A and B are shown apart, each in its own frame.
Chain A
Amino acid sequence: MTSSRKVGRLEKTSLLKELSDRLQKMERAAEVDRTVLNTLDKLIDACYSTESFWRDNKKESVQSSFMLYHASRNARIILQRMKQRFIEAEEKHQNPLVIEESIAIIPPLSELCVTISSLVKQTLTKDLVNMVSEKVQYLREVAFANSLLPTPEEEMQELDEKRLKKRFGEFADTLQAMFV
């Protein structure tokens, strides 16, 4: 399977529609249905594919590819958090709160995913990249308000700490040089 085909999966197979339908069904029943975990797994996989596509995309500038990668990664970590909350729902007595909060994230998540898919075959202008950036910020705001944003500590778990500190130091130097 080629990378571009994998990217298309997000939209083509309507996984988000499937997730939305399952959530609404759960809301009506006021009970968590653990089959939602399968849908979430498929969505998370699709996000991983999109991340790889943009990470390896050399046709666009590194900055544009990064922004699309960043958007896909944020969609994925929010879905992973959602999955975690569904797994723990019974134990933490979060039923039906987790359903309501997951429903709240669907509109901005769908919007971002559709935008990412639509940009696969387009030349990325600065305006388009900025639009994606704004959509990511909005998605994170909604995710935060609904306890669906992983903590920085959770986000850090998939990173090489030594390399992170090195790159962060360089980033701080660049920022300082921009303003002083």
Chain B
Amino acid sequence: MKCKILLDTCVLVAASTFYVSDDLRTRLEHPFYQQSMSLITFLRKNLSSRIGITTETIERQSIPALQDAIDKDLVKTGINREKDFPIYSFIKNYCEQKLKTIRSCLVREPIEEDAVRANYGYVDRLFSEKAEEGIRLTFVEPRFKRLAEQVPKRYKGIAKEIYKQQQKEEDYQLVHLIRKPVEPSDKWILSEAIYLSMMYNRIETDEVIFFLASTDNHFSPKRWAGGKVSNQVTEAIRQKFGIACDWPMQVENMAKKVLEGKYPLPYDK
């Protein structure tokens, strides 16, 4: 049994930013940064296993993603061009330099565009179906109302609020698809992941477990404090395409199990 990890754009930019912060001694504590950096460290340690992979699409998106963040900051109030232009120019240079270093520990896989395009239709349909499910569960037949109907009249008000909050947490991934529709570029990345997963399982003699490491809730589950997980979209991707999407830390833990010869459990903490 082997494993491969495709790193989404967000993981690459988060790790590059973390490395810069480390050099500047302004450590970033959020899991978005910590987990991405930890996964890159793990991939570096296991470089000979060629676990970490990337594609041209993901690489191409990374630098504009860093630039987008700078562009957003440049229009904020309090920006002094004389003092801040040199600073943002330095940040851009430094993060891009770190991005390049990170890419050097990943295998860049070639892609057959026609095959990926064929997968795109299935990916698009999956996200449409899940968005429709989100609309149905949220607006047409919300279950919190049905559940609240079943409690004694005097508790209905409070029960309704509790069930509503519960449903909001459980269906987070579905509602997220409605609030922030998946970008075509993200659907393309999943299509590439499907192509690569199929390709590896065709050419490798051992079974290949394929992970997509991402902090984007279109792919990875939303974990709430208290242990509740919203994973309807992630589960649909896993069942339909055999790709395990998760946050970098969970992917790292699952990959470690594969390296020990054990089958990883999905949605492991």
Q: A residues touching B (Cβ–Cβ < 8 Å)?
A: 55-56, 62-63, 65-66, 69-70, 73-74, 130, 133, 137, 140, 152, 155-156, 158-160, 163-165, 167-172, 174-176, 178-180
| Cα–Cα, bound, A74→B88 (Å) | 12
In the complex, the answer to whether A176 meets B81 with C-beta atoms within 8 Å is no
Interface of B is mostly: helix
Instruction: Considering the complex, give the chain B residue whose CB is closest to the CB of A51.
Output: B85
Cβ-Cβ contact count across A and B, 8 Å cutoff:
111
| Cα–Cα, bound, A171→B23 (Å) | 16
In the complex, the answer to whether A159 meets B85 with C-beta atoms within 8 Å is no
| Cα–Cα, bound, A156→B65 (Å) | 23
Residues of chain A within 8 A (CB-CB) of B74 are 62-63, 66
> Per-residue CB proximity of B11-38 to A under 8 Å, as 1/0?
0011001001101101010101100000
Instruction: Considering the complex, give the chain A residue whose CB is closest to the CB of B75.
Output: A62
Q: Kindly list 18 other residue pairs between chains A and B, CB separation below 8 angstroms, not including A70-B88, A170-B73.
A: A55-B85, A65-B81, A66-B74, A69-B89, A70-B92, A73-B85, A133-B67, A140-B97, A159-B86, A159-B87, A160-B83, A160-B87, A167-B73, A169-B26, A171-B91, A175-B66, A178-B68, A179-B10
| Cα–Cα, bound, A2→B171 (Å) | 60
| Residue from B65, B69, B71, B90 within 8 A of A164 (CB atoms) | B90
Q: B residues touching A (Cβ–Cβ < 8 Å)?
A: 10, 13-14, 17, 20-21, 23-24, 26, 28, 30, 32-33, 63-76, 79, 81-94, 96-97, 215-216
In the complex, the answer to whether A175 meets B21 with C-beta atoms within 8 Å is no
Residues of chain B within 8 A (CB-CB) of A175 are 13-14, 17, 65-66, 69
| Residue from B28, B65, B71, B84 within 8 A of A172 (CB atoms) | B28
